[in-house]
């Protein structure tokens, strides 16, 4: 057997091994099924504990919301920066589509956590914390409720 054939066989075996290892690696992130996110809490918990620097964003920008997210980051032992953040925390009101028919709770806001992507942008979605309540709830209470719910989930 020529050296070329042996080298090619070794490269193919190594590539097959890497594919098999990657296929067995646990998926990190969230998947969506019928407008509901499913996220891997144990994997996210590991990533959250390992992260040292986070960025915060609010949609639309609101100083109260941004301040609350920065407070959450500090409570988690993280420093807040934009450029070198390992995770991006995004707090935004729920999409107000649909018709409101009564006093039932509905999603008012979501806190989403993303990995850092290329050029400091958002990468893969790792966690979604949805907050439900009465549609007439003040935004300040929604922000507080969302953050408290997240803290309860990961205390």
CATH number at residue 97: 3.30.160
Token pair of 83 as six digits: 């450029």
**pLDDT at 121 (0 to 100):** 75
**pLDDT at 145 (0 to 100):** 96
Please state, as a whole number, how many other Cβ atoms lie within 10 Å of the Cβ of residue 54: 24
Does 18 fall in a domain? no
CB 66 within 8 A of CB 35: no
Does 11 fall in a domain? no
Does 6 fall in a domain? no
pLDDT(80) > 50: yes
**pLDDT at 98 (0 to 100):** 56
Of 103-107, 111-115, 135-139, 149-153, the least confident: 103-107
Give how many domains the chain has, as a whole number: 1
Domain that residue 96 falls in: 27-153
pLDDT(5) > 60: no
Helix (H), strand (E) at residue 146: helix 139-153
Query: Which residues pair with residue 33 across a beta bridge?
Result: 36
DSSP tag of 117 = -
Does 5 fall in a domain? no
Half-sphere exposure of residue 92: CA atoms within 13 angstroms, side-chain side: 12
Model confidence at 60, pLDDT cuts 50, 70, 90, reads: confident
Report how far residue 55's alpha carbon sits from residue 113's, in angstroms, rounded to the nearest whole number: 10
Does 8 fall in a domain? no
Q: What mean pLDDT is predicted for residues 55-65?
A: 89
Q: Which residue has the higher pLDDT, 98 or 95?
A: 95
Does 12 fall in a domain? no
Does 66 fall in a domain? yes
Ranked by mean pLDDT, the top range of 30-39, 47-56, 60-69, 99-108 is 47-56
């Amino acid at each position: 057997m020529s050296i070329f054939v042996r080298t090619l066989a070794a490269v193919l075996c190594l590539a097959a091994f890497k594919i098999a290892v990657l296929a067995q690696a646990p998926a990190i992130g969230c998947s969506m099924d019928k407008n509901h996110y499913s996220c891997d809490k144990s994997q996210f918990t590991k990533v959250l504990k390992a992260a040292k620097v986070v960025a915060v964003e609010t949609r639309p920008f609101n100083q109260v919301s941004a301040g609350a997210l920065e407070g959450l980051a500090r409570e988690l032992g993280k420093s807040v920066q934009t450029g070198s953040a390992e995770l991006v925390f995004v707090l935004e009101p729920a999409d107000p589509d649909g018709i409101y028919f009564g006093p039932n709770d509905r999603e008012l806001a979501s806190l989403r956590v993303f990995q850092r992507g290329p050029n400091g942008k958002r990468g893969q979605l790792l966690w979604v914390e949805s907050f439900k309540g009465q549609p007439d709830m003040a935004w300040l209470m929604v922000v507080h409720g969302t953050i408290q719910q997240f803290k309860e989930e990961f205390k």
